[in-house]
């Protein structure tokens, strides 16, 4: 067994695809319209669905916005350098909600950014493996 995808409901599909591809560097893997159900599914990610977990963006045509509720946490993305990743997000027009730095009560370097619908994405800086090149 493996995780295939995580689904997020989005209010504006093109804006969300632009964020995940243009700001976070993912690729649009596939997109399908379902006119009878009045929704579109777009799958995005850093690798192929057959090899890695991806995000499914669900756009219900008649819904412009969602209440995120208080149960949702965040999507975590490993990055080489969280400080540099935050600068790239800002350069590309994205919103950094917590600048890179050590997490509370720990040493792992993290940061948070927010997508156009308010979903949180955590950057976790990759820890160097001793003896391995960067």
Look up 122 and say whether it is catalytic: yes
Catalytic pick among 56, 64, 78, 122? 122
**Secondary structure (3-state) at 14:** helix
DSSP code of residue 95? E
Can you point out the beta strands (E) in the chain? 5-9, 27-34, 39-45, 54-60, 75-79, 95-102, 109-114, 120-125
Q: Residues 10, 65: contact at Cβ < 8 Å?
A: no
Residues classed as catalytic: 122
């Amino acid at each position: 067994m493996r995780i295939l995808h995580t689904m997020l409901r989005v209010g504006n599909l093109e804006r969300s695809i632009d964020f995940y591809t243009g700001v976070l560097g993912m690729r649009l893997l596939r997109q399908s319209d379902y006119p009878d159900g009045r929704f579109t599914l777009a799958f995005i990610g850093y690798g192929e669905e057959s090899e890695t977990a991806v995000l499914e963006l669900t756009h219900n045509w008649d819904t412009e916005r969602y209440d995120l509720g208080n149960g949702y946490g965040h999507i975590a993305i490993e990055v080489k350098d969280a400080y540099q990743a935050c600068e790239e997000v800002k350069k590309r027009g994205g919103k950094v909600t917590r600048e890179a730095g050590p997490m509370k009560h720990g040493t792992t370097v993290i940061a948070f950014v927010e997508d156009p619908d308010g979903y949180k994405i955590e950057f976790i800086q990759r820890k160097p493996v001793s003896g391995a090149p960067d």
